[in-house]
Amino acid sequence: WEAASYLPYSRARIGSFFQEIPVLKNPFLEDALLNGYLRRHLPQEVLSDLCAFGERVVKEVDRWGRECEVTPPQLVQFDPWGHRVDHIVTSPAWKRMKQLVAQEGMVAIGYERPFGEWSRVYQMSKVYIFSPSSGLSTCPLAMTDGAAKVIQSIGVSWPVDEAFSRLTTRQPERFWTSGQWMTERQGGSDVASGTETVAVPQTDGSYKLHGFKWFTSATDADMTLTLARVQDRTGATTPGSKGLSLFYAEVNRDKDGRLKGIEVQRLKDKLGTRPVPTAELLLDGLSAHRLSEEGRGVAAIANMLTITRIHNAVCAVASMRRVLQLARDYATRRTAFGKLLKDHPLHMQTLARMEVETRGAFLLVMDVCRLLGREESGMATQLDAHLLRLLTPMVKLYTGKQALAVVSEGLESFGGQGYIEDTGLPVILRDSQVLSIWEGTTNILSLDILRCVAHSSGMVLHAYFTHTKSLLAGASGVSSLAPAVKAVDGALSELQAFVQLAATRAPGYLELAARDLAYSLARIYTGSLLIDHACWKGASSSDTYAALRWCEQDLCPVVSKQAIGCYDPSTPPLDTALVYD
């Protein structure tokens, strides 16, 4: 009988082997590049704060994030007596996240500016550490930051002074979040044609909004910024972008608990972002105040787009980093073919490629945060301002796409377990899919890059070339980086030649090249940032290796695609014929 107990499966039919679980460790301490970058630019107190916060994320916050995921919001439209109430019931964890965002100053830091031009880097580093454990509360966080930015740029005065102080407070009981209601059924990209909501002027100077907002995320917000068309006395409105104005509205309830001027039609049933209540809203006389001049709504909300797009990019890189941290830990625990995964060179190559992608994306997004911080602290040169305009859509579109690729590869590195829902891994993939859709799709942002180039008469590109060259100049004479410098320098020249040639072609040519152009801009600029970081006196040999590896890829796909005629006028009909074949 005793001998039988040693036989495998004799007592426990499921066997005696259980795989060790990948362990989430302090995301600050686990991230060499984040540490290096912050040591390079910010004082020790920032590192200490982020280290403590990283500890809190592991010990406490990550659990709340999971609770948010498995306890999605519910809409209760009617009370038991049939009255319309439209309560959005969220989990306790979701509410705790809101408090945490305030306590940790995740919006406030951007407005307190404790470290001058580097304050945004500090704030976004915190968001970066928080994001993968946040149960998507980074979504309202981003919109709240964006709303504060819009208010600050318009002027903090009545009727939005109270809102500004609540959006940027560190006191959880005073803290408000904001929505961003732009999308209607006819169009989320083409807001100018898609917006039907009308604003009816009231005698006291306020407005009542009537319309249907098709996607409104984090609808448990306290206020929102939204777009609508002002009606004149005859009820007429101006079509297109010139008819859109920006409005501020509070989300209030009457004494019976009913939403004032809003009906929640339903909550969306989504692939991911499940903790976020995303609703369809009927605006039926919602009280609002106009914030922009009439017809300047898109220009006025652009500041919100800038902030939310940067948040999107920060969260995209954070997803890549999270999956890598878990994957590399797992590789020290899982054995296959007689050795740990970490001892299989091909597995390590796979993770190293993900690491290179993640490092590049990190430096790219932090550089945009640096530029934002310079602009907000009055330090920005004209070149910085141009760069910020160009790099914002670029970093959003590039990191949104790359996050999905890296996270997908990351799931595979866990084998079958990467596909199992309650490991908490698949949610990272689901939540990454949205990053390239909301806040402007990849194509829309590629076209936005073209528009900002045209709008600035090419000055944004001039700033780009000047700054990239100056980054490379800092590496001249560093022999270990010579192949990388050569590759970026060559790609930059090719890109310059392409831009000059494309300017002589019909507009349709550049439109077809827009996406590849965006990728070329992103890869070349990121290469120069990796090189620059590797030249820093505190850099490691891994920083050099990452720069070399990044620069081995096709840095300028717009040129290779051009060479095979991808943007020729003959292409669109052929593409269409192929698609509908």
Residue 156: CB atoms within 10 Å: 16
With tokens 């939005």, the residue in question is 160
Residues from 228 through 267 that contact ligand UCC (CB under 6 A) = 241
Element (H, E) at 215: strand 207-216
Dist. CA 497–CA 505, nearest whole Å? 13
Smallest separation, CB 147 to ligand FAD (Å): 12
Q: How buried is 474 (Cβ within 10 angstroms: 0-12 exposed, 13-18 middle, 19+ buried)?
A: middle
- Which tokens go with 283? 């605006």
Site stretch for ligand FAD (CB under 6 A), options 258-266, 270-278, 291-299, 402-410:
270-278
Enter the DSSP assignment of 258. -
Could you tell which of ligand FAD, ligand UCC, none binds residue 278, using a CB distance below 5 to 8 A set by kind? ligand FAD
305 binds, among ligand FAD, ligand UCC, none (CB under 5 to 8 A by kind): ligand UCC
How far is the C-alpha of 401 from the C-alpha of 434, rounded, in Å?
Answer: 10
- Out of 302, 340, 348, 566, the only residue in the binding site for ligand UCC (CB under 6 A) is 302
- Closest chain position to ligand FAD (CB): 188
DSSP state at residue 59: I
Q: Does position 448 bind ligand UCC by CB under 6 A? A: yes
**What is the nearest approach in angstroms of ligand UCC to the Cβ of residue 189?**
5
Stretch that binds ligand UCC, among 63-71, 344-352, 448-456, 488-496 (CB under 6 A): 448-456
Torsions phi, psi for 211 (to 5 deg): 175, -170
Residues 527 to 546: which contact ligand FAD by CB under 6 A? none
Name the one range near ligand UCC by CB under 6 A: 85-93, 187-195, 253-261, 356-364: 187-195
Query: Which of the ranges 32-40, 186-194, 473-481, 565-573 carries the binding residues for ligand FAD, by CB under 6 A?
Result: 186-194
Specify the residue, 243 or 373, whose C-beta has the smaller distance to ligand UCC: 243
Residue 355: enclosing H or E segment and its boundaries? helix 345-376
- Contact window for ligand UCC (CB under 6 A) among 17-25, 87-95, 137-145, 258-266: 137-145
Q: How far is the CB of 62 from ligand UCC (least distance, A)?
A: 16
142 vs 228, beta carbon nearer ligand UCC: 142
Strand partners, 289: 248
* Alpha-carbon distances of 19 from 15, 16, 257, 334, 343, rounded to whole Å: 12, 10, 50, 7, 17
Among ligand UCC, ligand FAD, none, partner that 187 touches (CB below 5 to 8 angstroms by kind): ligand FAD
Question: How many residues line the site for ligand FAD (CB under 6 A)?
Answer: 22
Q: How many CB atoms lie within 10 A of CB 550?
A: 23
Gyration radius from the chain CA atoms = 25
Is residue 287 within 8 Å of 201, Cβ to Cβ? no
Beta-carbon contacts of 51 under 8 Å, excluding residues fewer than 6 positions away, are 26, 28, 29
**SS3 (DSSP) at 472:** helix
Asked if 444 is part of the footprint of ligand FAD (rule: CB under 6 A), the reply reads yes
For residues 159, 164, 167, 171, the Cα torsion angle rounded to the nearest 10 degrees is -110
Considering only CA atoms, which of 404, 298, 314 is closest in space to residue 368?
Answer: 314
437 binds ligand FAD (CB under 6 A): yes
Considering only residues 137, 144, 180, 306, which one is a binding residue for ligand FAD as defined by CB under 6 A? Answer: 180
Give the per-residue contact string, 189-218, with ligand UCC (x = CB under 6 A; - = no). Answer: x-xx------------------------x-
311 binds ligand UCC (CB under 6 A): yes
SS (H, E, C) 135-157: CCCHHHHHHHHHHHHHHHHHCCC
d(CA 322, CA 427): 12
Interface with ligand FAD includes 415 (CB under 6 A)? no
Binding of residue 142 to ligand UCC (CB under 6 A): yes
When asked if residue 26 is in the footprint of ligand FAD (CB under 6 A), the reply is no
Question: C-alpha angle 63/52/102, rounded to 5°?
Answer: 70
Of 64, 122, 215, 247, the one binding ligand FAD (CB under 6 A) is 215
Nearer to ligand FAD, 11 or 451 (CB): 451
Tokens found for residue 306: 């800038």
Q: Are 547 and 526 in contact (CB under 8 A)?
A: no
**Does residue 432 touch ligand UCC according to CB under 6 A?**
no
The owner of tokens 């995303």 is 278
Q: How do strand 279-290 and strand 262-267 relate by DSSP bridges?
A: antiparallel
Among 90, 138, 168, 442, binds ligand UCC (CB under 6 A): 138
Amino acid letter at 280? Answer: E
Phi, psi angle pair for 263, to nearest 5°: -115, 130
Minimum CB separation from ligand FAD for residue 305, in Å? 10
Q: Measured in Å, how far apart are the chain's first and last C-alpha atoms?
A: 70
Q: Does 443 bind ligand FAD (CB under 6 A)?
A: yes
If one counts every other C-beta atom within 10 angstroms of the C-beta of residue 416, the result is 8
- The CA distance from 250 to 174, in Å, is 14
Q: Choose the stretch contacting ligand UCC; rule: CB under 6 A; options: 40-48, 304-312, 518-526, 560-568.
A: 304-312
Residue 142 interacting partner from ligand UCC, ligand FAD, none (CB closer than 5 to 8 Å by kind): ligand UCC
Which DSSP helix (H) or strand (E) runs through 543? helix 541-550
Residue 87, strand partner residues: 76
Q: What is the nearest approach in angstroms of ligand FAD to the Cβ of residue 213?
A: 7
Q: Binding partner of residue 299 among ligand FAD, ligand UCC, none, CB under 5 to 8 Å per kind?
A: ligand UCC
Phi, psi (deg, nearest 5) at residue 478: -90, 100
Q: Which is nearer to ligand UCC, 144 or 520 (CB)?
A: 144
CB of 178 to ligand UCC, least distance (A): 11
How big is the site for ligand UCC, counted in residues (CB under 6 A)? 29
CB-wise, 376 or 431, nearer to ligand FAD? 431
403 lines the binding site for ligand UCC (CB under 6 A) = no
Applying CB under 6 A, the residues found at the interface with ligand FAD are 180-183, 187-190, 215-217, 270, 273, 278, 434, 437-438, 440-441, 443-444, 447
Applying CB under 6 A, the residues found at the interface with ligand UCC are 138-139, 142-143, 180, 182-183, 188-189, 191-192, 217, 241, 298-299, 302, 305-306, 308, 311-312, 315, 438-440, 444, 448, 451, 455
